[in-house]
Structure 1
Amino acid sequence: MLAVLLALPASARVMPDLYDVSEAVASRGASDRASATARGLERVFIRVTGDLEIAQDPKIAPVLQQSQKLVQSYRYESDGNQLYLNLAFDPQAVGDLVHKLQLPLWPNNRPGTLVWMAVDTLQGGRDSLRQEDYPELFGLLDGLAMERGLPLDFPVMDLNDQRNMPLGSLWAQDEGAAERAGVRYRPDATLMGRLLQTSGQRWQANWLLIHGGRSYAFDASGSSMEEVALRGVNGAANLLAERYAVRSSDTGVTSAVLVEISGIRSFAQYSAATSYLHGLAQVSSADVLAVHGDRLTLALTTSTQLQTLQNLLSLNRNLQSARDDGLVDLSGYRAPLGSAQNPLRYSWQ
């Protein structure tokens, strides 16, 4: 257990509750339970695939009709006058269905995302958004993050944050300021939003997602501040799922990718590195081929594309990508990346 914990990235998080949902029901009757179970499974599929529109896939409808077969356990509880059905779906059974239907699979190790927001209202002008000032809005964002399976953090906006991320820099979506202000939080991704009230019931928002050395800009519009804020988190979840979700048909066949990790100087580091690679959803096996000094060579069996695998490995802060030293022979031939002659190279930190 310790080795697995050591192997986890500093900010990327394993989301443990992707398969647990709670649905409001009118009664304990079988019909109400069946309807609630179908709704709950649809929510689980959104979390697991990262696809907000997954229910529109014609392959999903027959599965939802048989949703009770995928329930691992359920129980009822009351909150005031409202009855709820708490459902726990079988992760293995859901995963098998995702694979069988060739749906995207977003593994539960997901980028921790730090969200900075500024607002400009007709009456109040421009200001940073703080949790203590807008508890209902931030509560909605937390709820949406749970529905999408995206771990969110919000800055505390104390004097340190205000100095490192002044309002002008936040409104300008200054990536340099985001990098400086994010040092204390060590996020995997940063989401910056500026929310502008253009009329009494019209809002416009500009969003910038910074992740993996790249920036993604997108806009949102709506009738309230809450609506454009929620659309910002949804947009970020869509972009991250697109990068990390894998379809079983990505390549159609499994292949071996060789990975070389230097800096392995103790058994604890060896155990942490191998446990992490064994636990990746995209990797069916991770075989140690050689150990030379502080250098560990493994063969990873995977059916996903090489770039997707590299994206996933980049989430682990312990793995730092090393310089590509793939040799080019006199004929100009360069060994393919991930081959024995040109493995993926990392150093363990």
Structure 2
Amino acid sequence: MSSVIFLRQIVMCTLLSMLFFASASAVVIEDLYDAKVPVTDQAEATQNKAIKQALKQVFVKVSGSQTLLNDEKIVKHLSRASTLIRSYSYERKLNQLFLVVNFDQEKIQNALRTAGFAVWDKRRPDTLLWLAIEDKQQDKYILNADNQPMFVQRLIEQAQIRGIRVGFPLWDLNDMQLVDVYTIWGGFAQQIASASERYDHKTLLSARIYFESIDPSNDNSGKQQWLADWTMSDNGQVTNGQVSGPQSDLLADEIINVVAQQLSDKYAISQQNRLLNAVTTKIVINNVNAISRYAAVLKFLNGLSVVSKATLISQQGEKATFELELLGNTDDLLNTFRLDNIITPVSSSLEQEQTNLEFKWAN
């Protein structure tokens, strides 16, 4: 069996497993505070350099942003990266040695917050990717694991580095009846959204990828690049833009960076928001009709990064009223609820949802 065919089979298995777990639009990322860095040996100098690189990965994953690595306070933390470690070990896969580092969650969060950066909860949206590509021969086709296994594998690996999950359409008969390459190329968002309903992802990204030779008459004479025009929809909010790269596989990194940045901008709780907009609010949750369900609701609420403390203050029949001390504001709380269908609003009106704060417990 050739290495290319073997790689395609691995990628397809990975994609299928990702689609199977994505029955809800939010997943829990358990390895936010872990990083794995390739090393050549176990020498102290090599280890110190690798620990610094691992801390960079974790800072980016937990905050959702790459720009913080240029911040003076973060740079100081990087210079003493070993003080933030909980444990480390070495691991060998095939012929490559890795340093595996686990950082202290509380210390990482404190470092980010004291530097003024956001902390992003481990519950994060899945993003469904619809991609089309035009090759250098100007042939357009849908990009998938069969025809671009290396590109798809790089998307998956880069998503893991950024602390997010991405999924891909099955491209079975149902998908092909609703979407073709020209649907993606033309950016027909409504058709793509309709085709995405079966996957239960609230976050979608479609992109057309193509090669461009820049006009040699300008200052970038002879320069060539790959471009991706992307459109992203998150709970109906649409943004778009363009990224570029000198090689098509590097464009995969840029696409994932877009997804991570867009999601963290919305869902990560910034230190400024924590300090200026922190509030105490009350919410009513229906269907709380047993001690076990009350315990599940309380555990869920206290597990949210936007909630500092949740307390039951009254119970009338199946309606439980909780007081929440928020590390942010009500909009941050509602954004967190919208990640999945565990707690859903009683009213379908957004305005009424924001004033009444009455929900149903569906778990």
TM category, shorter = 0.7 to 0.9
Question: What amino acid is aligned across from residue 310 of structure 2 in structure 1?
Answer: A
> 1:130-149 to 2 correspondence within 5 Å?
130-149=144-163
2:260 to 237, 260, 263: 237
2:327 to 284, 293, 303: 303
TM-score (normalizing by structure 1): 0.87
Asked if 1:272 is matched to 2:263, the reply is: no
Question: What amino acid is aligned across from residue 343 of structure 2 in structure 1?
Answer: L
Provide the C-alpha distance between the structure 2 equivalents of 1:305 and 1:284, rounded to a whole number of angstroms.
12
Distance 1:28 1:251, change over 3 A: closer
Shift of 1:123: 1.7
Distance 1:218 1:97, change over 3 A: same
Provide the C-alpha distance between the structure 2 equivalents of 1:326 and 1:192, rounded to a whole number of angstroms.
29
> 1:165-244 to 2 correspondence within 5 Å?
165-199=179-213, 201-244=224-267
Aligned partners of 2:56 and 2:78 also within 8 Å: yes
Provide the C-alpha distance between the structure 2 equivalents of 1:319 and 1:70, rounded to a whole number of angstroms.
35
Distance 1:325 1:260, change over 3 A: farther
Which secondary structure state, in structure 1, belongs to the residue aligned with residue 35 of structure 2?
strand
Which secondary structure state, in structure 1, belongs to the residue aligned with residue 200 of structure 2?
coil
Q: Which stretches of structure 1, 4 residues or longer, exceed 6 Å deviation after superposition? A: 324-327
User: What are the Cα deviations for residues 92-124 of structure 1, in whole angstroms up to 9, with x where unaligned?
Assistant: 221232233332101111001110101112325
Which secondary structure state, in structure 2, belongs to the residue aligned with residue 51 of structure 1?
coil
Shift of 1:17: 0.9
User: What are the Cα deviations for residues 201-251 of structure 1, in whole angstroms up to 9, with x where unaligned?
Assistant: 432211011112211111112223223332122112111100011123314
Give the match for residue 358 of structure 2: 345
User: What are the Cα deviations for residues 243-301 of structure 1, in whole angstroms up to 9, with x where unaligned?
Assistant: 01112331426431111223445555434332211111121111111222232211110
Distance 1:293 1:174, change over 3 A: farther
Question: What amino acid is aligned across from residue 238 of structure 1 in structure 2?
Answer: Q
Which runs of 5 or more structure 2 residues have no equivalent in the other structure? 1-21, 214-222
User: What are the Cα deviations for residues 61-118 of structure 1, in whole angstroms up to 9, with x where unaligned?
Assistant: 1111211122111112334543221111122221232233332101111001110101
> 1:16-165 to 2 correspondence within 5 Å?
16-123=30-137, 125-165=139-179
Which runs of 5 or more structure 1 residues have no equivalent in the other structure? 1-7, 328-336
Distance 1:225 1:198, change over 3 A: same
Provide the C-alpha distance between the structure 1 equivalents of 2:157 and 2:351, rounded to a whole number of angstroms.
46
Aligned partners of 2:73 and 2:115 also within 8 Å: yes
Aligned partners of 1:195 and 1:204 also within 8 Å: yes
**Richer in helix (by share):** 2
Shift of 1:310: 1.6
Provide the C-alpha distance between the structure 1 equivalents of 2:319 and 2:121, rounded to a whole number of angstroms.
28
CA RMSD of superposed structures (Å): 2.4
Provide the C-alpha distance between the structure 1 equivalents of 2:113 and 2:102, rounded to a whole number of angstroms.
20
Aligned partners of 2:134 and 2:210 also within 8 Å: yes
Residues matched between the structures, number: 330
Provide the C-alpha distance between the structure 2 equivalents of 1:21 and 1:145, rounded to a whole number of angstroms.
13
User: What are the Cα deviations for residues 30-72 of structure 1, in whole angstroms up to 9, with x where unaligned?
Assistant: 1211111011101100000011121101101111121112211
Give the match for residue 331 of structure 1: none
Question: What amino acid is aligned across from residue 88 of structure 1 in structure 2?
Answer: N
